[in-house]
Amino acid sequence: MNLKLKIWRQNGANDAGKMVDYSISNVSPDMSFLEMLDVLNEQIINEGGEPVAFDHDCREGICGMCSLFINGEAHGPDRGITTCQLHMRKFKDGDTIYIEPFRAKAFPVIKDLVVDRGAFDRIQHQGGFISVNTSGNTQDANSLPISKHAADEAMDAATCIGCGACVATCKNSSAMLFVGAKVSQYALLPQGQVEAADRVRNMVAQMDAEGFGNCTNTGACEVECPKGISLDNIARMNRELFKTMI
C-alpha cells in the first residue's frame, strides 16, 4: 500500500507543534502499525531528517506504552487492541492517516507522539497497593474464601494496563475509568478492605489534583479501552468514596 501520513511533531511541552506530511510506499497489510512507523523512521533518517518519537515497549498489548491517537480514535480503528496490535490491513491503499499523541492537560507532550503519563503513577502511589506482612507470617491465600463472581470482577478490573486511552477519548479528559479499575480490583477482595477508605479518598484526591476532568457517563472510555474495562468500575469507585463520607 501507498499511504499519506499526517503526523504531529512537537519539540517539548512548550513548543507549539504542527502536523507534518509524509508519504510511505510498499506498506504490507501484515505490518503492525508500529512496524510501519519503524519503516517511516528509517526512511526519514536516510533522508537526513529527525525520526518521529513514539512510545513502545512490549509490542504485545501488555505494557500500555504504545498510545497513539489514530484518525481521531485512541489506538486506531480496531477494538479491544492497543496500537501495537493494530495491523495495516485496517487501512486501504491511498489512505491518509492522521497520527497524534494522547491529548490531555494531565498528559503533557514530551516530544512528538510521546506524552508524560506520570500522573497515573502518582495516582497509583496514593493507594494502588495493599500493605502485607511479608515477614514469614503471611496468610495462605487459599484460607480466604472469595466468591467466583468477586474474583472474576476483580481480575477484569486488574487487566487495566494504564495506557490512558480512556483519558484521551473522553471529552472531559477524565481518568475515572482508570482510577475506578484500580480501586475496584482491591475493593472486591478481602485483602483490600483494611486500607479501602484511605485508598479511594487518596486516589480520587490525587486524580483531581492532576487536573483530570469528571465523568459525565458518555461511555467512550469503555468503547476505546483495549481491555474492555467496564463503566461499572466507575460506579463502584463512587460507592466506595460515598461510604467514606457516612
Q: Residue 144 carries which DSSP code? A: S
Q: Output the pLDDT for position 143.
A: 82
CATH number at 117-130+145-244? 1.10.1060.10
Question: pLDDT by residue (tens digit) across 120-138?
Answer: 999 999 999 988 776 777 7
Half-sphere exposure of residue 173, counting CA atoms within 13 Å on the CB side?
16
Q: Residue 141 carries which DSSP code? A: G
Comparing 142 with 245, which gets the higher pLDDT?
A: 245
Task: Say whether pLDDT at 191 is over 90.
Answer: no
Which residue matches cell numbers 507470617?
137
Domain extents for the chain? 3-111, 117-130+145-244
Task: Please state, in angstroms and as integers, the Cα–Cα distance from residue 113 to each residue in 51, 151, 157, following that order.
Answer: 11, 37, 27
Q: Residue 115 carries which DSSP code? A: E
Q: Which fold has domain 3-111?
A: Ubiquitin-like (UB roll) (3.10.20)
- Work out the number of other CB atoms within 10 angstroms of the CB of residue 14: 9
Question: pLDDT by residue (tens digit) across 59-101?
Answer: 999 999 998 999 999 999 999 999 999 999 999 999 999 999 9
The single-letter code of the amino acid at 151 is A
Q: Output the pLDDT for position 137.
A: 75
